């Protein structure tokens, strides 16, 4: 069955290998690791991110969605399932072989793009080095996991719709929704964030007050290299975010000017309030923990979908 799956998959594998080789050549030529090329390839940097998000989607719709739906559509499943091989083995080998190829493709691509982009990643052009929402999903391990998931999703939807074209459309829509949902609603909760409370450093604050209530507003900056900051608040010693009335020194005069910063009198007045800075964040050191966790989640989902496909083919499709 492995040889037969490979026979059916060969053409797609060759296409993928050729595309991969082309990417490697382009990136090798334009490597920013060589000083001469540094900074000439901003659009290639963006393209690298786009490619790593497109790869799972493309593999999902071109390898995943037609994998079984095409057999159902053209009736060849009746040929395949009357050979001397169990359906479970048929689906396991087909899924396993193609999934491995998909993950290898995504893994190699991610490896090359991550390597190529590393000097520019460190210059942080998109803000929030490495743990940033956009960059994180297009580096290192996560594309491998999301590709496995997109592939299994395509196969599953294809199995349920029994038609390749609707399966492509539906699985693409679901995968796009997952790509949006994961950084927004899943990733922030994977590891409980760190919460630090420190006394407010008066040198970095900007001060405002609202009209007409005169309630005090103080904001400050946070400088934790590589961190993914969820929130950065200034509170009273008791932890309340409403800071009470603004001191008189901070209302009159140019204190409110956002550019000039508070006057020393205002600063001293705020110092007497003993305010705290509360920062909730994920340290940059957790990058690999996040990578492994998110990849594991994608792989687990892919395995669940594959298990569902096997069960469906074995138990439901003949009903």
Contacting range for another protein; rule: CB under 8 A; set: 30-38, 59-67, 77-85, 172-180: 77-85
308 binds another protein (CB under 8 A): no
Helices 164-181 and 142-161 meet at what angle, rounded to 10?
A: 140
Return the range that interacts with another protein (CB under 8 A); candidates 68-76, 163-171, 200-208, 280-288: 68-76
Select from 42, 86, 219, 264 the one that contacts another protein (CB under 8 A): 86
Q: Residue 225 contacts by C-beta under 8 Å, 6 or more apart in sequence?
A: 129, 284
Judged by CB under 8 A, which of 15, 83, 196, 199 binds another protein?
Answer: 83
Q: Which is nearer to another protein, 17 or 80 (CB)?
A: 80
Could you tell me the smallest distance in angstroms from the CB atom of residue 16 to another protein? 17
Token match 């309630």: residue?
215
Q: Which residues contact 85 (CB under 8 A, 6 or more apart)?
A: 1
Judge contact between 191 and 287, C-beta under 8 A. no
For another protein (CB under 8 A), the number of binding residues is 20
Bridge partner list, 229: 281
List 25, 85, 181, 268, residue binding another protein (CB under 8 A): 85
- Of the residues 30, 31, 37, 87, which one makes contact with another protein according to CB under 8 A: 87
CB of 77 to another protein, least distance (A): 8
Q: Measured from the CB atom, is 8 or 232 closer to another protein?
A: 8
Could you say whether residue 123 binds another protein (CB under 8 A)? no
272 binds another protein (CB under 8 A): no
Q: Give backbone dihedrals phi and psi of 234, rounded to 5 degrees, phi first.
A: -110, 125
Residue 88 contacts another protein per CB under 8 A: no
Nearer Cβ to another protein (84/198): 84
| Residues 6+ away with beta carbon under 8 Å from 266 | 207, 247, 249, 250, 255
Q: Is 218 helix (H, G, I), strand (E, B) or coil?
A: strand
Closer CB to another protein, 7 or 36, in the complex: 7
| Binding letters toward another protein, positions 2-41, x by CB under 8 A | -xx--xx--x------------------------------
Q: Is 177 in the site for another protein (CB under 8 A)?
A: no
- Taking the CA atoms of 207, 212, 214 and 215 in sequence, report the sign of the dihedral they define: negative
In the set 15, 76, 196, 252, which binds another protein (CB under 8 A)? 76
Q: How far apart are CA 293 and CA 127, in angstroms?
A: 22
Within 8 A by CB and 6+ apart from 89, the residues are 1
Q: How far is the CB of 170 from another protein (least distance, A)?
A: 23
Round to whole Å and give the CA distance between 58 and 55: 5
Cα gap 179→189, rounded to integer Å: 16
Q: Would you say 10 or 33 has its CB closer to another protein?
A: 10
How far apart CA 88 and CA 203 sit, in angstroms, is: 67
310 lines the binding site for another protein (CB under 8 A) = no
Q: Helix, strand or coil for residue 150?
A: helix
Q: Which residues bind another protein (CB under 8 A)?
A: 1, 3-4, 7-8, 11, 74-76, 78-79, 81-87, 318-319
């Amino acid at each position: 069955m492995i040889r037969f799956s490979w026979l059916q998959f060969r053409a797609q594998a060759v296409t993928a290998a050729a595309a991969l080789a082309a990417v490697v050549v382009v990136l090798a030529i334009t490597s920013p690791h060589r000083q001469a090329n540094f900074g000439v390839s901003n659009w290639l940097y963006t393209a690298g991110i786009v490619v790593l998000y497109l790869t799972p989607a493309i593999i999902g719709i071109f390898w995943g969605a037609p994998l079984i739906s095409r057999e159902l559509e053209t009736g060849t499943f009746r040929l395949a399932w009357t050979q001397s091989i169990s359906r479970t083995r048929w689906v396991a080998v087909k899924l396993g072989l193609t999934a491995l190829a998909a993950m290898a493709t995504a893994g190699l691509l991610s490896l090359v793009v991550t390597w190529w982009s590393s000097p520019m990643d460190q210059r942080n052009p998109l803000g929030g080095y490495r743990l940033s929402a956009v960059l994180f999903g297009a580096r290192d391990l996560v594309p491998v996991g999301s590709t496995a998931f997109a592939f299994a999703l395509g196969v599953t939807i294809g199995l349920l719709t029994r038609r390749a074209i609707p399966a492509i459309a539906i699985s693409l829509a679901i995968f796009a929704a997952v790509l949006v949902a994961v950084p927004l609603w899943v990733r922030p909760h994977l590891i409980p964030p760190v919460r630090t409370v420190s006394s407010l450093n008066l040198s970095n604050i900007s001060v405002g007050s609202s009209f007409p209530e005169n309630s005090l507003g103080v904001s400050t900056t946070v400088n934790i290299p590589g961190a993914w900051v969820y929130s950065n608040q200034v509170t009273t010693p008791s932890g309340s975010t409403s800071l009470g009335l603004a001191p008189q020194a901070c209302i009159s005069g140019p204190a409110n000017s956002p550019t000039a910063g508070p006057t020393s009198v205002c600063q001293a007045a705020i110092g007497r309030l003993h305010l705290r800075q509360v920062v909730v964040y994920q340290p940059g050191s957790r990058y690999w923990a996040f990578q492994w966790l998110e990849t594991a989640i994608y792989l687990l989902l892919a395995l669940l979908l594959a298990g569902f496909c096997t069960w469906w083919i074995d138990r439901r499709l003949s009903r």
